[in-house]
Amino acid sequence: MSTRPIIGITTQTLEAIPGELPRCWVMSQRYVDVLTSAGAIPWVIPLSHDMTTLRAVYERLDGVFLPGGVDMDPAVYSESRLPECGVTDPDRDRVEVAMVQWAIADRKPVLAVCRGVQVLNVAAGGTLFQDLAEWCDAAIKHDYWPMEVKQRQDLVHEVTIEDGTHLASIIGAGTTTVNSMHHQGIKKLAHGLVVNSRAPDGLIEGVEGRDDDSYLIGVQWHPEELVESDPAMSRLFESFIEAAAAHQGEVATR
């Protein structure tokens, strides 16, 4: 039997195309490929309404990965929707919040990217800017959507990794340059989290848990697109899989 850790990857709703395709749950193959290369067995998580089934899926996981995607529904963090808020996926919100809260309670490793770091913050009790213009007119550009001019792997702005954080111990403290594909961001930081990185305009670019003995890390950029060009981003995924393997071993010895 393989001892490779099982990593759950949440999905997103693809609405039905009448006459062609029923409603589907989908997710980018890129996340699956990168996690597989780092040593994981990926497990794609359905957005089922059967919470008993979802809990059974969760119990079989050694770690939870939260990928990028559409905006969160502001109702999840008790705010009214603004016109600037984009497409949302309430089923995904429900499943991801549950997975994060279960994982935090069980100290199961979590790695979150882009939308994922926002979900992590909300699941822990924080809130979001529904659009960064709401936060600061002087904010730098963060929404470099992939198109002819910019690609997903293009480096577009700096972030400063805070010294003494778990993230710094993995990829190093100081300044690095990242890709960026978001128009929302963390507003109120959840009580149980600390900031591990910021953009030049002060926006929170990453968070992690306060507990040094658990793996709970989120970043606002897309490191999965940078693993071939930046060894530090490869180390981020490797560290997550190592933490999941260690958790797997701890569970096995109980």
Say which CATH number the domain at 154 has.
Answer: 3.40.50.880
Q: Is the pLDDT of residue 167 over 90?
A: yes
Q: What is the pLDDT of residue 2?
A: 61
Residue 174 lies in a domain: yes
Which residues pair with residue 129 across a beta bridge? 185
Residue 226 lies in a domain: yes
Per DSSP, the residues of 49-86 read S-HHHHHHHHHT-SEEEE---SBPPGGGGT-PPPTT--
Give the pLDDT mean for 154-172. 97
Residue 210 lies in a domain: yes
Q: What is the pLDDT of residue 251?
A: 86
Q: What is the pLDDT of residue 143?
A: 94
Residue 145 lies in a domain: yes
CA angle 237, 112, 88 (to 5 degrees): 145
- Cα–Cα dist 117/238, whole Å: 18
Q: Is the pLDDT of residue 188 over 70?
A: yes
Q: Is the pLDDT of residue 205 over 60?
A: yes
Residue of 96, 114, 225, 247 marked catalytic: 114
Give the pLDDT mean for 199-212. 94
pTM: 0.96
Residue of 157, 182, 183, 222 marked catalytic: 222
Residue 22 lies in a domain: yes
- Cα–Cα dist 77/142, whole Å: 22
Residue of 96, 205, 208, 224 marked catalytic: 224
Please tell me which residue, 76 or 2, carries the higher pLDDT value.
76
Long-range contacts of 69-77 (CB under 8 A, 24+ apart): 69/12, 69/114, 69/115, 70/12, 70/115, 71/115, 71/130, 71/184, 72/115, 72/118, 72/119, 72/122, 72/128, 72/184, 74/128, 74/130, 76/122, 77/122, 77/126, 77/127, 77/128
What range does the domain containing 139 cover?
6-252
Q: What is the pLDDT of residue 85?
A: 96
Structural domain total, the chain = 1
**Four-residue CA torsion sign, 158, 164, 167, 172:** positive
Residue 1 lies in a domain: no
Q: What percent of the chain has pLDDT over 90?
A: 90
Q: What is the pLDDT of residue 253?
A: 83
Give the pLDDT mean for 50-73. 98
Residue 54 lies in a domain: yes
Residue 179 lies in a domain: yes
Give the pLDDT mean for 190-219. 95
Active-site annotation holds for 96: no
Give the pLDDT mean for 95-122. 98
Active-site annotation holds for 24: no
Active-site annotation holds for 183: no
Count CB-CB contacts under 10 A for residue 53: 11
- Cα–Cα dist 202/135, whole Å: 11
